[in-house]
Structure formats: structure tokens, C-alpha cells
């Protein structure tokens, strides 16, 4: 592909040269007459044609991908944008329990993108977000994330550089610091994990809490929770960083009581000590304990984290590449957090495209702490599949760091053919858990 041919002054010619077959974007439509002024063409992306590139998006394809043996609630949601420049961009919008909704939502954005220049990613992001009127929740956030990643993948491929170089990175040419799940509960298993960490150069693990918690808890369950985390520290030793994910299973009242006892263990963080809707409730926990608090995986856009940052509630923000709004939004969240000296430890527990996309942001933001991948010290089924798809062991750490992709764009090649072995088995809900009395529990 001749890059310069596609990038230098389009001079407005493309507005007329919209590709055959693209849906018309200026069809008259009815509106409610409450506020909207009809606009004459050209508008939107067409108005940018004279200052844009000659590349055009020719097709948008969505893929549901189910890997047998992987968690059934999160079949991967992938999107592929094809162009007239011979390059395609991939993105991911996997959302646990809502694969069908995200696939449909991505398709709702077809008209925004087909026939458009893929380069102005900020414009497309704003248009998808603002023109959806109701603002984004997790379904739309995940759909925008998928498309944003695919647009960045295209941008990098068209410009001939990995995305992290467009963002000013890398911070560290050896890669991005990460952590695995501490999939061990007994002291003996944890000690074995500590040894394999030492041999692999792993520097951090994350564990969780046992049980489910009611709004107020009994002394027995509180003691069990504390003992569980103490065992983690005892087994993994004093030199590894340990994060503990409360997964919003606890109320603010119960969380604060437990964390008070964990302060002495000097954890890297306690994650989601309560559900995410109420920032002041989270703040009340953070105020009363010493352990750093992390949260944010369920939040969408920089709008979603504004209150957390402005009230200086947490030490670490964990927005997820696949839900927050892709690279564009994750970078902005990091910028917002950075001015308050809040660190970034992006959440990732879905498929490999979003994770690889995360590495590009991680490698270029000043306040990066560590990247999740939900992997384990011993490779799992999914790791084998990912290697089969990409030809390299995606999200496997070397000396405690995920190596940075060197290829342009997000840094991988993926074929539709490779995905065919893993057909979509449909949406599955996330696990539903209940207390002993039958009432609904958080997990």
C-alpha cells in the first residue's frame, strides 16, 4: 500500500467519491421537532473530507467467538473494519453476559462508519457517543470500545507504526508490567506459586475473597475473609505485590471492617470494596482504611470516572479497554487520573484484542502501574488458542512484563478463518449467586 497516496490532501474529492454500496447518510428523516434543526449536507465526516485521508471504511463485520472450556458468560465480541486501502482493523467489545447486545449495538453504528475515513478516530468516538443521545452504559461503551480499537488498529497500520508510538511510548522497551491470578488457596499451593513466580520473574498476583457477603456480616465470615488474605500473604511471601479483589461482594460497612484488618499486610490494593454506583460510599471506605483502593472496571468514558478523581477517592483506577470506550477513552481517563497522581491498573478479563490494545496505552501513559490479563502462571486453554490465532503467545509475561507488539497498529494479524474453529455459541448470562435465605448476592 502506498501510504502517502492515501494520506496527502484529499482535496474534497472523496466527498463525491463515496464508495458504491455504502448506505446514504443524508436521507431525510423525521424528528420530534423539539430541538433539532435539520442540517444541509455535507455534514459530519463528509465535512472533514478535505482535511482527511483518502482511506475509506468499506465494511464492518462482527464476530461472536466461543472458546470451549473458557468462561461461557464471555464469548468474545470482535469487530473487523475493512478498507479500500487493503488493510483491516480489529477491535474487541466483549461484555460478560451481554454478547448479543454488544454485537447488535456495534451494528447500530454501521451507518456512522461505512464510507467514512477511518483516520479521525476522535471525531467518530464523539459522534458515536454524543449522537447516541442517552450517553453510554456498559453495552454501548463496549460497542464504542470495539470500534475505537479497530479504528486505532487501522490508524497504526495506515501510518506504519505500532499504536504506542503514536501515543508517545514506550515507557519501557522491555514491555508492560503485569500480574496473574493467584489460583491457589492452601499454604502449600501458594508456596509453589511463589517459587514459579521467582523463576518466571513475576512480581505481582491478585487474589479474591471467599464467600458472599450480606449488607452486614457475622463475625465468622469476617474472620474467614481475613484469614484467607493472611494466607495469601503468608504463602506468597513479603516480596511479591498482592492485590485483593473484593469484586463488590461486600457492602461499604463490611468492606471497611475487613480492610482495617488487612492494612497490616500492605497489599498493593483492595479492589472494588463496594459496588460502583455510589462514589461517596466508596469514599467512606477509603477514608477509614490505609490500604490503597482500586476501582473502575465497570465505568464508561472519562465522564464515568470524573467524580472518583475529583473527590480524590481512590489511589488506582482500573477502567477496562473493552468497556471504557477503547484507546481514546482509556488515554483520557489516564490523563484525568494523572493530574491527581492516581495510578492506572487497567482491568482486562475478556479476549486478547482488548488486552493487546491495553498494552499500547499502558506503554505510553505516565501513571501506569500494572496490567491485568486474568491469566495464570501456568498457561490455560485460552492461551493456546490465542497463540494459534496470532502466532505469538499473547499476554504471556517474560520477566514479569508483557512484551510489546512490534508490528504496526495493535500489532497482530488475525484472519476470519482462524476464528471459524470457535463458532459463537450464543450469549450466556453471568453466574447468578444467592445467599442461604434465597436473596440475591453480589459476586
Partner 1 sequence: MPAPLNPQLEMSALDIFPVREPISRRAYTVLRLRTRSGPIGFGECSAISPAELAALRAAIQGKEASSFESIRREVPVAASAMAGLNMAMLDVVGKFTGAPVYQVLGGPTRNKARALARIDGETDDAIVASIGQARAAGHRAFLVPVPMTHSRNHSATLVNATRQRLDRVRSAAAEGSDFVLDAAAGLTPGDASSLAAVLERSHLLWFDEPCPLLNLSAACRIAGENVTPVGFGRFAAEAGVFQDLLRNDAVDVVRPDLGRHGVTQVRRVAAVAEPYYVAIAPFHDGGPIATAAALQLAASLPNFFIQQVPYPAAGEDRRMRTRLTGAPVETVQDGFLQLPSGPGLGISVNESALAEYREREA
- Give min distance, CB of 167 to partner 1, in A: 7
| Choice between 44 and 208, CB closer to partner 1 | 44
Of 53 and 291, nearer to partner 1 (C-beta) is 53
How far is it, in rounded angstroms, from Cα 30 to Cα 327? 34
Enumerate long-range contacts of 132-139, CB under 8 Å, 24 or more apart.
135/303, 136/300, 136/301, 136/325, 137/300, 138/95, 138/98, 138/298, 138/300, 138/323, 139/95, 139/98, 139/101, 139/102, 139/105
DSSP string, 75-106: -EEEEEEEETTS-EEEEE---TT-HHHHHHHH
Q: State the minimum distance, in angstroms, from the CB of residue 3 to partner 1.
A: 5
Among 247, 266, 360, 435, which one carries the catalytic annotation? 247
Cα distances (Å, whole numbers) of residue 2 to 5, 8, 57, 114: 5, 11, 17, 22
347 is catalytic: yes
The vertex-372 CA angle with 369 and 374, nearest 5°, equals 160
Which residue, 77 or 365, has its beta carbon nearer to partner 1?
365
- Residues lying near partner 1 in the complex (CB under 8 A): 3-4, 7-9, 47-48, 50-53, 119-123, 125-126, 155, 159-161, 165-174, 301-303, 305-306, 309-310, 328, 331-332, 335-336, 338-340, 364-366, 406
Q: Which is nearer to partner 1, 207 or 408 (CB)?
A: 408
Selecting among 123, 124, 323, 347, the annotated active-site residue is 347
Distance separating the N- and C-terminal Cα atoms of the chain: 49
Cell of 377: 502462571
Least distance to partner 1 from the beta carbon of 20, Å? 25
Residue with smaller CB distance to partner 1, 251 or 319: 319
> 247 an active-site residue?
yes
CB-side exposure of 82: number of CA atoms within 13 Å?
9
- Catalytic residue set: 247, 347
Amino acid at each position: 500500500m502506498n501510504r502517502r497516496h492515501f494520506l496527502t490532501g484529499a482535496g474534497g474529492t472523496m466527498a463525491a467519491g463515496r464508495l458504491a454500496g455504502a448506505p446514504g447518510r443524508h436521507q431525510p428523516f423525521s424528528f420530534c421537532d423539539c430541538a433539532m434543526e435539520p442540517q444541509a449536507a455535507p455534514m459530519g465526516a463528509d465535512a472533514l473530507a478535505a482535511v482527511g485521508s483518502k482511506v475509506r471504511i468499506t465494511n464492518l463485520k462482527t464476530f461472536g467467538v466461543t472458546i470451549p472450556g473458557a468462561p461461557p458468560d464471555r464469548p468474545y465480541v470482535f469487530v473487523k473494519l475493512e478498507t479500500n486501502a487493503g488493510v483491516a482493523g480489529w477491535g474487541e467489545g466483549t461484555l460478560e453476559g451481554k454478547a448479543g447486545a454488544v454485537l447488535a449495538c456495534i451494528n447500530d453504528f454501521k451507518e456512522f462508519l461505512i464510507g467514512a475515513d477511518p483516520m479521525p478516530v476522535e471525531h467518530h468516538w464523539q459522534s458515536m457517543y454524543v449522537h447516541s443521545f442517552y450517553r453510554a452504559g456498559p453495552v454501548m461503551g463496549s460497542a464504542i470500545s470495539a470500534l475505537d480499537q479497530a479504528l486505532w488498529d487501522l490508524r497504526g497500520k495506515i501510518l506504519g507504526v505500532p499504536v504506542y508510538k503514536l501515543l508517545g511510548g514506550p515507557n519501557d522497551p522491555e514491555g508492560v508490567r503485569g500480574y496473574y491470578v493467584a489460583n491457589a488457596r492452601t499454604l502449600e499451593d501458594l508456596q509453589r506459586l511463589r517459587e514459579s513466580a521467582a523463576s518466571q520473574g513475576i512480581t505481582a498476583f491478585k487474589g479474591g475473597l471467599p464467600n458472599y457477603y450480606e449488607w452486614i456480616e457475622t463475625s465468622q465470615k469476617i474472620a474467614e475473609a481475613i484469614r484467607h488474605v493472611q494466607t495469601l500473604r503468608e504463602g506468597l511471601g513479603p516480596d511479591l505485590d498482592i492485590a485483593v479483589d473484593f469484586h463488590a461482594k461486600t457492602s461499604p460497612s463490611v468492606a471497611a471492617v475487613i480492610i482495617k484488618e488487612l492494612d497490616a499486610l500492605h497489599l498493593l490494593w483492595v479492589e472494588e470494596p463496594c459496588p460502583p454506583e455510589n462514589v461517596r460510599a466508596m469514599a467512606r471506605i477509603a477514608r477509614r482504611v490505609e490500604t490503597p483502593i482500586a476501582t473502575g472496571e465497570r465505568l464508561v468514558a472519562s465522564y464515568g470516572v470524573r467524580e472518583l478523581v475529583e473527590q480524590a477517592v481512590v489511589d488506582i483506577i482500573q477502567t477496562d479497554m473493552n468497556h471504557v470506550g477503547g484507546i481514546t477513552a482509556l488515554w483520557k481517563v489516564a490523563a484525568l487520573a494523572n493530574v491527581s497522581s492516581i495510578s492506572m491498573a487497567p482491568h482486562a478479563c475478556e479476549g486478547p484484542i482488548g488486552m493487546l490494545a491495553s498494552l499500547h496505552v499502558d506503554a505510553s501513559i505516565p501513571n501506569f502501574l500494572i496490567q491485568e490479563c486474568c491469566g495464570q502462571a501456568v498457561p490455560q486453554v485460552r492461551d493456546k488458542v490465542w497463540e494459534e490465532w496470532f502466532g505469538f503467545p499473547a499476554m504471556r509475561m517474560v520477566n514479569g512484563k508483557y512484551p510489546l507488539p512490534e508490528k504496526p497498529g495493535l500489532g497482530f494479524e488475525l484472519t476470519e478463518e482462524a476464528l471459524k474453529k470457535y463458532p459463537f455459541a450464543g450469549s450466556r448470562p453471568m453466574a447468578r449467586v444467592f445467599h442461604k435465605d434465597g436473596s440475591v448476592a453480589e459476586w
